[in-house]
């Protein structure tokens, strides 16, 4: 049994990762600044003693024993870090330094969750790991890019085993109702029969990867022998779909009465965002196995349960 620390363990990917690791018998320490009770997925494991929890901000050093570290600590939704850009940079840069120092003390292996955003906001071809960084990067992307440089420095100077996953758009159960990422926003609007807003024509092409498939890739990356490791590896889906078709699928699968309405296009909205998964196929023997239709069905079911649970909690407080 390994002792595994998951920073950001109550987020979308982190919560699924904590549960998966606990299910295979590992000792899991979930570290997050959010309240454990907010997670429908992780809280039952915590209540039963299968997952430990530490309320802690990664920008402050943490001392504990461990064998592996997954660093997923970072806001991923624009509305969560709007107006808090310095805090966002601290989380990604200072937090990454702290997680790597913890790994160094324990001789632990690390996987850092970067983002496909490091390729820039205007992508017309498949994003390859060797692509030159674009100039039009957001603060979020710059923080991820700087954290990647920190990981590379520790790899080179301390011969540390540290894998970097550039994660593209991920969806699935585990999000809160105020999550502003496109899939969850559309689903919560659909089950409430609210209008679904699309910016521009909706012809923008995107890929959406089920969170469970992403977790599988991260675990495989952690197990990758150091001599086979690469500076960074793309994780995501190769199935492209338009934003409008995504909305239509969600409306149909949820039997919603929502209408699709179009808003003014965003300036930085890329026409196409898709990862090149060649390295993931070759080095991790990994490819997503969950279809978009099935993943959306699972996520819609979760969203309905989430709304029902928290509506009940509010009723009890009144």
How far apart CA 16 and CA 246 sit, in angstroms, is 23
DSSP string, 92-114: IIIHHHHHHHHHHHHT-EEEEEE
How far apart, in Å, are the Cα atoms of 124 and each of 121, 145, 166, 234?
10, 20, 18, 16
* HEC letters along 70-84: EECCCCCCHHHHCCC
Residues labelled catalytic: 140
Tell me how far apart the alpha carbons of residues 73 and 32 are, in angstroms, rounded to a whole number: 8
Task: Give the separation between CA 112 and CA 272, rounded to whole angstroms.
Answer: 25
Place of tokens 């454990």: 36
Are residues 174 and 12 in contact, defined by beta-carbon separation less than 8 angstroms?
yes
The total of other beta-carbon atoms located within 10 Å of residue 41's CB is 17
């Amino acid at each position: 049994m390994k002792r595994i620390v998951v920073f950001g363990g109550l987020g979308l990917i982190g919560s699924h990762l904590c549960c998966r690791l606990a299910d295979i018998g590992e000792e899991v320490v979930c570290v997050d600044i959010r309240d454990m009770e907010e997670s429908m997925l992780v809280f039952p494991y915590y209540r039963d003693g299968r997952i430990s929890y530490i309320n802690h901000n990664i920008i402050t050093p943490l001392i504990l024993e461990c064998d592996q570290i997954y660093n997923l600590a970072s806001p991923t939704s624009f509305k969560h870090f709007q107006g808090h850009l310095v805090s966002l940079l601290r989380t990604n840069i200072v937090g990454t330094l702290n997680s790597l120092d913890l790994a160094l003390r324990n001789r632990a292996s690390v996987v850092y969750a970067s983002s496909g955003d490091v390729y820039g906001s205007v992508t017309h071809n498949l994003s390859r790991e060797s692509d030159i960084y674009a100039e039009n990067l957001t603060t979020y992307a710059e923080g991820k890019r700087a954290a990647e440089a920190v990981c590379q420095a520790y790899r080179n100077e301390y011969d540390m085993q540290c894998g970097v996953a550039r994660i593209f758009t991920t969806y699935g159960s585990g999000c809160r109702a105020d999550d502003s990422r496109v899939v969850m926003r559309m689903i919560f609007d659909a089950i409430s029969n609210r209008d679904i807003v699309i910016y521009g024509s909706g012809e923008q092409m995107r890929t959406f990867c089920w969170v469970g498939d992403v977790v599988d890739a991260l675990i495989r990356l952690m197990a990758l022998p150091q001599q086979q490791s690469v500076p960074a590896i793309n994780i995501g889906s190769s199935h492209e779909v338009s934003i409008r078709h995504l909305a239509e699928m969600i409306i149909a699968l949820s039997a919603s009465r929502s209408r699709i309405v179009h808003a003014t296009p965003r300036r930085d909205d890329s026409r196409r965002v898709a990862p090149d998964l060649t390295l993931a196929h070759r080095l991790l023997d990994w490819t997503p196995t969950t279809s978009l239709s099935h993943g959306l069905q699972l996520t819609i079911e979760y969203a309905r349960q989430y709304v029902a649970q928290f509506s009940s909690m509010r009723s009890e407080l009144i």
